[in-house]
Amino acid sequence: MRRSLLLSLVLFMVGASALLLYRSPESHVSQAEEKPSDWFFRQRAYPQGFIDNALRAQSVEQARALQAVGRYTAGASWIQRGPSNIGGRLTALAISVQNPNTLYAGAAAGGILKSTNSGTNWVPLFDDQASLSIGAVAVDPTNDNIVYAGTGEANSSGDSYDGIGILKSTTGGASWEYSGLADTRHIGEIAIDPTNPNTIYVAAMGTLFSGNPERGVFKSTDAGATWVHSLYINDSTGVVDIALNPQNPSILFAAAWQRMRGPQGRRYVGGVHTRIYRSTDAGSSWHLLSAGLPVPAANVGRPSIAIAPTNPLVAYVSFADDPGNFMGAYKTTDGGDNWARTSDAGLSGLYSNFGWYFGNVFVSPHNENLVFICGLLLGKTTNGGASWFTQSTSHVDHHAMAFHPTDPNIMYAGQDGGFSKSTNGGASWFRESNQDLFVTQFYAGYIDPTNGARSIGGTQDNGTPRTQTGNNADWVSINGGDGFYCVIDYSNSNYQYAESQYGGLVRTTNAWSTTTGASSGFTGRKNWSTPIIIDPNNPMVLYTGSHMLHRTTNRAVSWTAISPDLSDGPVPGFSAYATITTIDVAKTDSNTIMAGTDDANVWISTNYGSSWTNVSAGLPNRWITRVRFDPADQTIAYVTLSGYRVDSHLPHIFRTTNSGASWLDISGNLPEAPINVVLVDSLFPERLYVGTDVGCYYTTNTGASWSTMGAGLPNVPVSDMQLHTHPRIARAFTHGRSMWEINLDQLVAVREETPLQPEHIELHQNYPNPFNPATSIGYSVEHETHVRIAIHDARGALVRTIVDEVVRAGTHAASWNGLNSSGIAVASGMYLCRLEAGGVIKTRKMQLLR
C-alpha cells in the first residue's frame, strides 16, 4: 500500500502554523545541518507533522495507571547499569548561595539531578515527572530548599519532548509541584529577585514547530502561584534569556529571539524581532535597545545577555545569525543605553553553524572582565572583551555555567558530555572520572551474545561507548559523532559493527583495537538512524538499508543492494525521508527477510531478496519502528509503530501469523504511545517485551494483556532493548537516563503468579493523592463495556464527568485537573471519584490541596 509522504509534509507546512507564511519578504529556509537531528520529532510526528501534547500527556497518565497496579510486578526492579562516566546534554546549572557545595543540573532529556559535594556525585530528582526535558533551573537565594525547574530545553533542537511549564520544589528537589505556564513549552531562563524571592521572571520561547502566544517574559510576585504576561512580542518571537540587576532588581534585560522550526531543519532561526529589551520598572514596561546593537534584520539570530554582578552598568550580549554562525559580542558600560561590539575576532568559528543550539553568555560574579560564551568550545575573555579566545572543557557543545558565590576560582560548565569543573578560575577544566551522571541519550544498544557483562550503544553526541566489564564507570567510546545501531558477531565477538549518523558504518575485526570503514557499496537515501542487523544463521551475512535493502556476505567488507526502493519514493528537499528504518531475518529461514520504512511500508521477501511483497495493508499510516520475526516460526511476525492518534484509537503493535497477509492488533491495555522496540523471548515465544516512550511492558500471552515491566524505570523514552539468555536479563537503552537492567526470571515468575487480566471491575486509588493541580485515576474492566467516571464533592454534588464512553478490556487511565464542568477551579477539599460499569459501582476518596 503506497502512502503519500509528500502530501503529509505539505499538510504540515500549511497547517502547523500560519506563522510559516508570516515572515515575508525576509523569510528563507536555513540549510544548517541538523544537530541534534530532527529524527526524534519526525518519527513521532509522522504523518500529521506535529505531536499533540494533550495526547502525549494522556499516554503518560495511562502509563502511570498501569504502573500503579504494582502488585503485578512486585519484587522486580530495574537497576541502573551505566554509563556514569559518559554523560549527556546538560542545558542548565544552578548553585545554592547558602550552601555552594549544592548544585542542580538540568538535562535535555534526563530531568533534574542534584549534587551536594560540588559535582562529584549526583542523584536524580525528576524521574517520575511528565517531561524530563529541562531548559532552566533556579535556586531561591534565601532558602535553598526552594528550587524552580523550567521544563523544555530552549534551544532549537528537536530530540526531546516539549516541557510542561514550571515545577517547584520546597524540599530541595525531593518532591515537586506544578507551578503553571504549561503552554510555554520551552523555557530558557528563570530569574529570582534576590531582595524579594517571591518575585520571579521566566523567559519563555513557546512552541517550537508552530506559533503560540505563551511566549516572552512571565512574572510572578507570589513565588509561582500566579503569573502575569510581562512582555509579549508576537507569536513567533519568544524570550530565551533574562538578566536581572542584582543591585537594583527593578532593572532587567530580556533577549528576544524570533525562530520557527519547519519539517526539514530550521524554518528560520532569526528575524527582525530578535532584539534586546530593557525594563526599569520591574517588568511593568519594556523598551527596545538599539544604540550600537545589530540592526534588525532577518538574519539576526539567537541572542543571550548577562549583567556583571560586581558592576551592573556593565553587560554583555552575544548574537548568532541565521543559519547559526557567530555574529558578534557586544558590551555596554552605561547600563544598556549604548553598546559597542567587542574585539571578538577570536570567536569567529565559535558556533560552527550551530548558534541556535547553544550561545548563552555568562559573567563571573567576582570579575566584570571575565566573560564566557557557550559554543562548540567555550569562548572566553579576561579583559572585558578587548580580546577573546576559545578553550576546551571536557566535551564540545556548551550550554550552561555556574559560579561559586564566594570563591572566584571555582566554576562549573554543562555541555553535551555532561559536567565539568574548574578550580583555577577557568584556566583549565576537568570532570570526575566517575561523576555518576546518568543522562546519556541512547539511540540504540546491544549486548555481547558471548558475554552478558558487555554492552555497547549508540548515543546522541557521545559516539558509541561500550563497557567490557558491566561496570557503570568504565565505558569508552569506540566511534565518534552521534552513535546509532551496533551489532556484535555471536560466533566471534572480535567482529563488531557500529555507525554514526546517516549510515556512517565502521567495523572491527579485533574488538575495536583498530577500525575500518564499512560502507563500500552502500548507497542511497539513508536515515539519521540507519538499521544494521546480523543474520541469525550466518554471521558472515549482515543487512543494512538506505531506501534499498543492502546485504554483505563478507562481514561488511562490501555491500550489494538486493531490493528496489522500498519506500514511496523520494520527496524533493527531504533527503533523510523515505528510507528503511528496521530489518529482520527469520531465525528459522534465512531466506525470509522483512523491512519497514519511515513512510509506513512493510515488505517481506521469502526468497533471499529476489522478490518482495508489500504487506502494509491493514497497518496504520505511521513510521515503522521495528519488525521482528518469531524465533520459532517465520510466518509469525510483529510490527511496531511510532506516532500518535488523530481521532480514533491507534494501536502501536501488530502481529501476523500468515507472513503479513493479515495483521492483528495486540496492543491490548498498553498506553497509547510510540513503541520503539519489540523483542520475542527465544525460550518462550509467547512472551513479548516492548520499549515505549512511556516505559517498558511485557506479555506472557502474546499480547492479550500487558504488564509494566518492573519498577524503577524513569519516565523517559526507551529507544532500544536487548535480551540475554545467560543470565536471563533485559537491558533498556533510554534516550536521556542511560542504560538499565532487569532480571527476566524474577519478572516473569511474579507475573505468572498474578495474572494481569482483572476478574472484575476495579477503580484504583488516584495518584498522586493528595494532589495539585491534577491527578491520574486508573481503572480496570474485564471486558469491553460502557464506563462512566464522575467527580463529586463531599456532599455528593456532581462536579464533573471525566469518562463516559465504551472502553476496551484492560487497565486504563483518566485524569482530573481540578476543574468543574464549567472549567472553573474548585476549592481544596475532599472529593469522591465514582465509577459505574457493568452494573458495578466503585468509589474512591481524593484530596485536592490548593
Shortest CA distance to 604 belongs to which of 574, 629, 575, 568? 629
425: left (phi over 0), alpha (psi -120 to 50) or beta: left
Number of other CB atoms surrounding residue 500 within 10 Å: 18
Q: How far is residue 61's CA from residue 80's CA, in Å, rounded to a whole number?
A: 24
Cell digits of residue 676: 520503539
Residues 391-400: what's their mean pLDDT?
94
pLDDT at 9: 40
The answer on 615 and 566 residing in a single domain is yes
Q: Is residue 56 part of a domain?
A: no
The answer on 781 and 657 residing in a single domain is no
pLDDT at 729: 96
The answer on 779 and 743 residing in a single domain is no
Cell digits of residue 168: 517547584
- Domain region containing 545: 442-753
The answer on 323 and 287 residing in a single domain is yes
Start-to-end CA distance of the chain, whole Å, equals 53
Average the pLDDT over each of 165-174, 327-336, 647-656, 658-667 and give the range with the smallest value: 647-656
Kindly indicate the confidence band of residue 821, based on its pLDDT and cuts at 50, 70 and 90. confident
Residue 652 and residue 673 in contact, taking contact as beta carbons nearer than 8 Å:
yes
pLDDT at 263: 53
pLDDT at 36: 56
pLDDT at 265: 55
The answer on 767 and 749 residing in a single domain is no
pLDDT at 16: 34
The answer on 319 and 276 residing in a single domain is yes
Q: How far is residue 733's CA from residue 719's CA, in Å, rounded to a whole number?
A: 6
In percent, the amount of the chain with pLDDT more than 90 equals: 76
Residues 442-467: what's their mean pLDDT?
97
Cell digits of residue 481: 559523532
Q: Domain of 172: which CATH number? A: 2.130.10.10
Of 354, 387, 422, which residue is a domain's last? 422
Shortest CA distance to 289 belongs to which of 241, 326, 255, 259? 255
Q: Domain of 774: which CATH number? A: 2.60.40.4070
Q: Is residue 588 part of a domain?
A: yes
Q: Is residue 811 part of a domain?
A: yes
pLDDT at 713: 95
Average the pLDDT over each of 10-24, 468-482, 612-626, 669-683 and give the range with the smallest value: 10-24
Residues of the chain by 3-state class (helix, strand, coil), percent to 5: 5, 40, 55
Q: How many CA atoms, within 13 angstroms, populate the side-chain half-sphere of residue 394?
A: 22
Residue 187 has pLDDT above 50, yes or no: yes
Q: How far is residue 181's CA from residue 158's CA, in Å, rounded to a whole number?
A: 20
* Burial group, residue 118, by CB count within 10 angstroms (0-12, 13-18, 19+): middle
Q: How far is residue 108's CA from residue 127's CA, in Å, rounded to a whole number?
A: 13
Cell digits of residue 841: 459501582
pLDDT at 786: 86
Of 422, 457, 486, which residue is a domain's last? 422
Which long-range CB contacts under 8 A does 404-413 form with residues at least 24 apart? 404/95, 404/100, 405/95, 405/97, 405/100, 405/365, 406/100, 407/100, 408/364, 408/366, 408/367, 410/100, 410/118, 411/364, 412/93, 412/95, 412/103, 412/119, 413/93, 413/374, 413/378
The answer on 452 and 396 residing in a single domain is no
Question: pLDDT per residue over 198-223, tens digit each?
Answer: 999 999 999 988 899 999 999 999 99
pLDDT at 202: 98
pLDDT at 749: 55
Q: How far is residue 664's CA from residue 58's CA, in Å, rounded to a whole number?
A: 24
Residue 473 has pLDDT above 80, yes or no: yes
Residue 19 has pLDDT above 60, yes or no: no
Look at the block and give the residue holding cell 553587560. 315
Whole-model pTM over 0.85: yes
Q: How far is residue 106's CA from residue 88's CA, in Å, rounded to a whole number?
A: 11
Q: How far is residue 84's CA from residue 133's CA, in Å, rounded to a whole number?
A: 19
The answer on 457 and 405 residing in a single domain is no
Kindly indicate the confidence band of residue 128, based on its pLDDT and cuts at 50, 70 and 90. very high
Q: Is residue 327 part of a domain?
A: yes
Residues 488-492: what's their mean pLDDT?
97
pLDDT at 75: 65
The answer on 665 and 540 residing in a single domain is yes
Residue 680 has pLDDT above 60, yes or no: yes
In percent, the amount of the chain with pLDDT more than 70 equals: 93
Sign of the Cα torsion 680, 684, 685, 688 reads negative
pLDDT at 844: 87
Residues 778-787: what's their mean pLDDT?
85
pLDDT at 776: 87
Q: Is residue 699 part of a domain?
A: yes
Of 753, 785, 803, which residue is a domain's last? 753
Kindly indicate the confidence band of residue 843, based on its pLDDT and cuts at 50, 70 and 90. confident
Kindly indicate the confidence band of residue 76, based on its pLDDT and cuts at 50, 70 and 90. confident
Sign of the Cα torsion 192, 198, 203, 206 reads positive
The answer on 413 and 513 residing in a single domain is no
Residues 823-849: what's their mean pLDDT?
86
DSSP-derived 3-state class of residue 9: helix
Question: pLDDT per residue over 783-819, tens digit each?
Answer: 878 899 999 987 778 899 999 888 888 888 888 999 9
12 phi and psi angles, rounded to 5 deg: -60, -45
Residue 715 has pLDDT above 90, yes or no: yes
Q: Is residue 41 part of a domain?
A: no
Pairing of strands 695-699, 707-708: antiparallel
Residues 397-411: what's their mean pLDDT?
98
Question: pLDDT per residue over 288-301, tens digit each?
Answer: 999 999 999 999 99
Kindly indicate the confidence band of residue 96, based on its pLDDT and cuts at 50, 70 and 90. very high
Shortest CA distance to 737 belongs to which of 204, 105, 171, 183? 105
pLDDT at 435: 77
Q: Is residue 286 part of a domain?
A: yes
Residues 313-334: what's their mean pLDDT?
97
The answer on 829 and 724 residing in a single domain is no
Is residue 372 within a helix (H) or strand (E), and if so which, with residue range? strand 371-374
pLDDT at 762: 86
Residue 302 has pLDDT above 50, yes or no: yes
pLDDT at 27: 28
Cell digits of residue 488: 556484535
Cell digits of residue 165: 511549564
How many separate domains does the chain show?
3
- Amino acid 108 reads A
The answer on 781 and 714 residing in a single domain is no
Q: Is residue 596 part of a domain?
A: yes
